[in-house]
Amino acid sequence: MLTYLGIKNFALIESLELEPGPGLTVLTGETGAGKSIILAAVSMLIGQRAASDLIRAGSEQAVLEAQFLLDPASDPALRLAEEALEGEEGELVVRRLVSREGRNRVQVNGNLATLGLLADLGPELVSVVGQHASQALLKSEEQLWLLDAFGGLEEQTLEVGQAVRAVRELDQKIEEHRRALQMREQRRQELERTVKELEAAGLDPEEEAALKAERNLMANSEEIAALARQAHQGLYAADGSALETVDRHRAVLSQLAELDPSLKETAARLEEAFYLLEDVAHQVRDYEAGLSFDPYRLEWLEERLHGIRRLTRRYGGDVAGALEALTQAKEELEGLDSGEQRLEKLETQREQALAQAVSLAKKLSQARREAAPRLAQAAEAELAQLSLASCRMQVSFNQPGGAALETGAGPLGGRGLEQAEILIAPNPGEGFRPLKRIASGGELSRMLLALRTLVARRHGAPTLIFDEVDAGIGGATGAAVGQKLASLATAGQVICITHLPQIAAWADRHYAVGKTVKDGRTATRLSLLDEGGRLDELSRMLAGGGPESTARQHAKQLLDSARQAKLSL
């Protein structure tokens, strides 16, 4: 139960305090006074994201605070105990500071906490039915949620959603694996081409240098032959050759050594030089004779060297690098499995996950079809108390739209095998038609109240807040809605923002919201009304330009009638 709400520097509110208390608390006031701003503050205190533009002009931060009284066995109390954030005697104090720079600070029972924690606790603390809830009721998603909430099927719906997400995650993994397989096959083909090309090349670390040397010889073969011929002529063949000259002086030195034995060694060395020179001359002759020029061989050498350069540019920069690339390609090929077994395993897992999801969804479908007539019957009983005694209701089911999984049981969405659609027959003799096609604003408001009442009874929400649930209704119907809210408030706290005096008359605690101007600034004012104040406020709401005395008399009748009727609730 919400026991205190404090708001500072928030939109039109400079400072405001609200103490709802148990039962039905009503807020009334003229349009634009700030009633919905109070509701916005509550929404932010239960986890809604903050907007810095809601900070009051001239202030740097807004301060919001709420105090709740918790049942020690409730889920919020247990969650706070798990987080070591429990308060004294079941009290929960939530404080939120919002700065103009966009910084937020959340405190739970005096300790720093996260916005995520507030969002988790929020639905267990307060259920807010806002101004646009009637329009939301026209959507099949909201209608399905109401059916699940009434039937207590939220856990089953959650399980189906988790199972469907598991299938979709496997679909994503399968798609990613298939892409990986495709890339792996492309890589395999690339590696195979590399190995084939390098092996076919038959590279040798010593080959390039040898080929270059041979190519250089063949490219300079004419000059080499001329030089070899010149050397042979000078050494041996020509008149006055080096060998002939040495031979002549060899004989002279030999004679000299006979005359002077000390020159024998010198003569022997010249003798040795003669034969060495003769051997060199023969080698040059043989070298010259062996010289040949083959243009086809030169062309082959150029092509081979070009091929080596092409491979080394592509693989490693030199022959050693290309050979290393060959080794690495072979090793990578050996470690590159096909991955087909992994794909088959994922596909098997997907089949199993889909079967599980379908099984859960079928059970949920059966439970929904069993809950649907119970919801319709219970809603009709509630509507009868809201001046719609002739209204009949059915729930039909359609296949889900959007990105549904195709199954043998039909399309499977994140919330099951079906969408729900509420059909109504407002008047006797009329057929059932979709709510969104025929319901008036007043019928929608009462339908929303009836369904929310059923859900609240099922879940026992501690605090229900209705923002203008009176849209499109008035008079006796408004009184019926007020009685329904008062009845609902006997089981839990209800806060209602209303423009109808017929509803406000049922309040256990009545606040009037107004505006005041001080020092040229407009601010929201909140006043807890006593009996006289309530009579004044209802008279204002009823006057509408008519006689004040008549409005005041009518207001007193409304208060007396509601007070008497509440005795039997």
pLDDT of residue 425: 92
User: What average pLDDT does range 106-112 have in this prediction?
Assistant: 91
Lowest mean pLDDT segment, chosen from 15-29, 420-434, 459-473: 459-473
Let me know if 135 is exposed, middle or buried by CB neighbors in 10 A (0-12, 13-18, 19+). middle
User: What average pLDDT does range 137-141 have in this prediction?
Assistant: 88
Rounded to whole angstroms, the Cα distance separating 436 from 138 reads 5
pLDDT of residue 250: 84
User: What average pLDDT does range 163-186 have in this prediction?
Assistant: 90
- AA identity, residue 258: E
pLDDT tier for residue 210 given thresholds of 50, 70 and 90 = confident
Model pLDDT for residues 63-100, shown as the tens digit of each residue: 999 999 988 888 888 888 888 888 888 899 999 999 98
Residue 172 above 90 pLDDT?
A: yes
Distance from the first to the final alpha carbon of the chain: 20
pLDDT greater at residue 499 or residue 244: 499
pLDDT of residue 420: 93
> Mean pLDDT across the chain, nearest whole number?
87
Using alpha carbons only, give the angle 518, 519, 521 rounded to the nearest 5 degrees. 65
Tokens read off for 194? 């590399």
pLDDT of residue 273: 87
User: What average pLDDT does range 404-417 have in this prediction?
Assistant: 87
Residue 25 above 90 pLDDT?
A: yes
Model pLDDT for residues 329-376, shown as the tens digit of each residue: 888 888 776 667 888 899 999 999 999 999 999 999 999 999 999 999
**Tokens 């509420």 found at:** 422
Rounded to whole angstroms, the Cα distance separating 245 from 236 reads 10
Residue 240 above 90 pLDDT?
A: no
- DSSP states of 262-320: GGHHHHHHHHHHHHHHHHHHHHHHHHHHH----HHHHHHHHHHHHHHHHHHHHTTSSHH
User: What average pLDDT does range 411-418 have in this prediction?
Assistant: 91
pLDDT tier for residue 544 given thresholds of 50, 70 and 90 = low
Rounded to whole angstroms, the Cα distance separating 489 from 566 reads 11
pLDDT of residue 263: 86
pTM for this one?
0.68
Rounded to whole angstroms, the Cα distance separating 427 from 390 reads 6
**Tokens 């199972």 found at:** 163
User: What average pLDDT does range 316-334 have in this prediction?
Assistant: 87
pLDDT of residue 205: 85
Most confident range (mean pLDDT) of 27-31, 57-61, 161-165, 266-270 is: 161-165
pLDDT greater at residue 563 or residue 444: 563
Rounded to whole angstroms, the Cα distance separating 130 from 525 reads 22
379 conformational bin, left if phi > 0, alpha if psi -120 to 50, beta if neither: alpha
pLDDT of residue 167: 94
Residue 315 above 90 pLDDT?
A: no
Strand pairing class (13-18; 24-28): unpaired
Residue 213 above 80 pLDDT?
A: yes
Strand pairing class (61-69; 2-10): antiparallel
Model pLDDT for residues 365-393, shown as the tens digit of each residue: 999 999 999 999 999 999 999 888 999 99
pLDDT of residue 52: 76
Residue 224 above 80 pLDDT?
A: no
pLDDT of residue 506: 96
Residue 135 above 90 pLDDT?
A: no
Beta bridge partners of 398: 419
Of all residues in the chain, what percent carry a pLDDT higher than 90?
A: 37
pLDDT of residue 318: 87
- Helix H, strand E, coil C: the string for 483-548 is HHHHHHHCCCEEEEECCCHHHHCCCCEEEEEEEEEECCEEEEEEEECCHHHHHHHHHHHHHCCCCH
Rounded to whole angstroms, the Cα distance separating 402 from 63 reads 42
Closest CA to 9 of 51, 64, 50, 48: 64
